[in-house]
Chains A and B, each alone.
Chain A
Amino acid sequence: MRKTIAVAALAAVTLGGTAEAQSARDYISIVGSSTVYPFATVVAETFGKSTEFKTPKVESTGSGGGLKLFCEGIGVEHPDITNASRRIKSSEVDRCAGNGVTDILEVKVGYDGIVLANSRATDRLEISLKDLWLALAAEVPAADGSETLVANGAQTWADVNPDLPAVKIEVLGPPPTSGTRDAFVELAMEGGCKHFDWIKAMKKSDKSHYKAVCHTIREDGAFIEAGENDNLIVQKLDANPNAYGVFGFSFLDQNSDKLQGSLVNGVEPEFENISDGSYPVSRALYFYVKKAHVGSVPGIEEFLSEFSAEKAWGPDGYLADKGLIPMPDAERDQFRGDIMSMKNLELASN
C-alpha cells in the first residue's frame, strides 16, 4: 500500500513538474494555413539555423483552425503567430477580443495563384472564368436564355463552349475543408458567374441565393474531391491525361516537367502574371502576430525581421524559390513598416 502511495505521489510530481515547465516557452509557436505552411517553415528553419534562438514550431491546422487556436487567449499555452490564406474575419477579431487578444499585428506575406493544370501529354487548355463556372457549377442558366437555373448537364468541355476540346469534364480538386477550395470558389467560380448580369444583380437583392448559385460545385462526378494532398492530384493527372487538377501554384512550379497550367482569361499562370495581378485566380497570404507575446516569448521580433528581409520575401528571396509570389516593392515596404511600428490590425476595409 505504501508503494502505491509512493507511485501516486511520483505521478503527481511529474504532472506538477510539467505544469511548471509550461510557464516558460523558449520557442515560437506558429499555427495556421496549410498554404502558408511551406513558406513559414522555410523561414522558421533559416531563423533557427542562423540565430541563437530555437527553431519555431510550425503546425498546419488550416486558416480557420489556426485563428481559433490563436484567439483562445494570451499565455504560453497559446500560439504566438497564426498563418492564414485569407484575411481575418471580423467575427474572429471579436472572438479574439473576447479572450483578451486585442493587439494583433497583420502581415501580408505575398500571393499565391490557384491553377487549373493538366498533363503535358495533351493540349493546353485556354478557358475563360465564365466557361469554367459553366463547366463546374451545380446549376447553370437555362439554354433558352430565360433567367432560370437548371441542373448542369454539360458532359464535355465542348458542351460548354464549342471552342473547347470535346473531352469529358473531369476536374480533381480540394475538399471544402481546404483554404484552396475557398479561394477557388470565391475567385474563379464567383468570378465566372458574375458575367451573367441577372445573377450579378442577385448579389444585391438576395445575397445568400447569389452565393449558393455562384459557389456550389456540381456533385455528379465531374468535379472529384481528391483530398488535401496536392501531390496525389499531381500523380493522378500524370496518369490520366484527360483530367484537370486545381491546386496551388507552387505544385505546378515544382512539377513543370509533367504538368502545364491552363490559360485563364488568356493569362498564363506564371510568376510575373500572378505577381502583377493579371492572372485572375490569385489570393493574398497573411500571418497574424499576438503582440502581447512579443518580448515574453524570445525571438518573435527577430523572426519577423527574418521573414520581412529582402533575402526572404523579396523577388529574388528564398521564399520565391519555394513558389511564393512576392508583393510589389511598395507593398513590401508598407508591411515592413507595419512590423517596425507594430501597427495594430484595422479591419476598416471590410
Chain B
Amino acid sequence: MSSTTEAARPSIHLSPSVTARLARRHRAERRFRRYGIVAIGLAIFFLAMLFISICSRGYTAFVQTFVQLEIVLDAEVLDLGAERDARTLGAANYQGAVKQSLRSLFPDVKKRRDRRKLNGMISTGAAYQVREMVLANPALVGTTVEVWVPADDDIDMLMKGHIDRDLPEDERRVDDDQLAWVDHLLQLGRIEKRFNTTFFTAGDSREPELAGIWGAVVGSFFALVVTLALSFPIGVAAALYLEEFAPKNRWTDLIEVNISNLAAVPSIVFGLLGLAVFLNFFGLPRSAPLVGGLILTLMTLPTIIIASRAALKSVPPSIREAALGMGASKMQMIFHHVLPLALPGMLTGTIIGMAQALGESAPLLMIGMVAFIVDIPGGPLEPATAMPVQIYLWADSPERAFVERTSAAIMVLLAFLIAMNSFAIWLRKRFERRW
C-alpha cells in the first residue's frame, strides 16, 4: 500500500534524507511491535507455566486409592447388645470390624507391631464410613458387606508414584512389609484408584484422604451472597447519585478521589477495619461468612462504583434528552432508559469485583476465617473458611498428600474464577450497545 502512494508523490519526498528518516521510522515501528509481541509472549509463557505446574501437580488429587474390604458386621465384634437405637449404633466399635476384616485378609500377620502397621494402611475414615452405612440401614448388622474404603494417604502416595519403591526402606514412609501387602492386594484386585468424590463433597480434614473442598466452597458462597446483596445495590445507587444527581462541587470531587483511593487500599486494611468494627464493636461472631461478606463488600464497593459510573457515562446524552423531551421525569428517564442501557456494564464490573473477592484471603485472616473447620457451614452465621484460605491451610500442612490437594484446590478456585470472568465477558458481548 505504501509503495503506490509513494510513487504518486512529488520527488522531494524521496530525497535521501527523507528516505533514511522514513526507514528509521519504519524500523522504530517494527521494533515497537516486536516489543509488544515479546511482552504478550512472556505473559502467555508465565501463565502457561503457572497452569502446567499447578495442573501437573494437582490432577492426581482427583483420584484416590481405595481398598475393598469384606466387613463382617457381627453384633459381637461391634460390641452391640440387644438394643438397636441410633445412639448405641453410633457408638459401636466399627474400628474393630474394619480391623477384623483386614486380619482375615492377611491371616499371617500376627505380631502386634505388624498389625498396627497393617491397620495403618486403611484410612481412619473407613470406620466412620461403615458407621454411616449402618446408621442409614440398621438391618445391615449381622450381615457381611463388601465396601470400598479409602486407603491411608501414604498408601495413596505410593499408588500414585509419589513414593519411590526403590529407595532404601528407612528412607521411605511405606516399609517393605507394607509394600508386600499392597502387592498382595493388587493381585487380589482389592486395591484400585477411583474418582475422589470425597474431595468435592467433604469439609476439611487432617487426613488428606478425607479432606474436601466443599466446606470452603459453601463458605465462599455465603460470603459472596452477602457481598453481592450489599455491594451491588449500594454501589449502583452511589454511582447513580454521583453521576446523575450530585452537583459538581468540591465535595463530590473529594468523594470521587476517595472512592478511587479506596480501590487501591491493601485488602488487609479492610480486614483490620472489620475486626475493629464488626467483631469488637457490633459483636458479630468470629469466623462467620457474614462478617467475611461485609468486609469483602467494603473491598468491592469502589470497583463496582467506578465500573457503574463508567457504564452510566457511556450512555449517550441523546437518550436522556429524548426521554426528557417526551415528558419523562428525571427519575423516569434514569430508571426507564439510562439504567437498562448501563446495566450490562454495571454487571460486568460487579462480576469482576466478585471474582476479586472470591480470591481474597488476607482480610479473612483478621476475622478468624483462617481456621480448621470440618462441618459444612449451614448458614452465614456458622463458622466457615473460604477457598483461598483452604488453599493456604493445606499448603502449610506437613502431610505429603496435601501438596497435590493444594494444587487441586487451586484448580477448583481457578475454574470458578474463569467461569465468572467468562460470564462477565459473555454479558458484555451479548448486551453491550455501541453508539
Contact = CB atoms under 8 A, between A and B. Distances in A.
Interface of A: 15, 18-19, 21-22, 25, 27, 29, 31, 34, 37-38, 40-42, 44-46, 48-49, 52, 54-55, 57-60, 77, 120, 228-231, 250-251, 253-257, 316, 318, 321-323
Contacts of B393: 60
A-B complex: 10 closest residue pairs judged by Cβ atoms:
A58-B372, A55-B374, A59-B371, A41-B372, A254-B398, A257-B171, A42-B206, A57-B383, A251-B398, A41-B206
Given A38-B206, A45-B372, 7 more contacts: A18-B284, A18-B285, A44-B372, A60-B393, A77-B285, A256-B170, A256-B171
Interface in B370-414: 370-375, 381, 383, 393, 395-400, 403
Given A57-B287, A57-B383, A229 B395 contact: yes
Contacts, number: 99
B185 to A, nearest CB: 21
Given A18-B381, A77-B283, A58 B398 contact: no
Contacts of B116: 316
A231 B375 contact: no
B253 interface: no
B286 interface: yes
B122 to A, nearest CB: 13
Nearest to B226: A14
Contacts of B398: 38, 230-231, 250-251, 253-255, 323
Interface residues of B, number: 41
B167 A257 contact: yes
A55 B381 contact: no
A6 B254 CA distance: 30
A296 B90 CA distance: 25
Give the residue among A253, A255, A257, A316 with the most B Cβ atoms within 10 A: A257
Nearest to B163: A257
Contacts of A42: 206
Nearest to A43: B206
Contacts of B288: 18
A44 B374 contact: yes
B128 interface: yes
Interface string B151-193: 0000000000001100100111100000000000000000000
B372 A57 contact: yes
B290 interface: yes
B205 interface: yes
Contact of A120 (B171, B282, B284, B372): B171
B103 to A, nearest CB: 18
Contacts of B397: 38, 231
Nearest to A250: B398
Interface in B258-304: 279, 282-288, 290
Contacts of B164: 257
B44 to A, nearest CB: 26
A48 B395 contact: no
A19 B372 contact: no
A231 B397 CA distance: 7
Contacts of A228: 396
A322 B397 CA distance: 11
Contacts of A52: 90
Contacts of A21: 285, 381
B359 interface: no
Nearest to B203: A55
B285 A27 contact: no
A59 B396 contact: no
B128 A49 contact: yes
7 contacts: A31-B368, A48-B375, A60-B371, A77-B285, A254-B173, A257-B163, A322-B206
Contacts of B290: 18
A318 B207 CA distance: 11
B286 A230 contact: no
Contact of B173 (A231, A251, A256, A322): A256
B198 interface: no
B124 interface: yes
Give the residue among A27, A55, A255 with the most B Cβ atoms within 10 A: A55
Contacts of A253: 398
Given A18-B290, A52-B90, A254 B206 contact: no
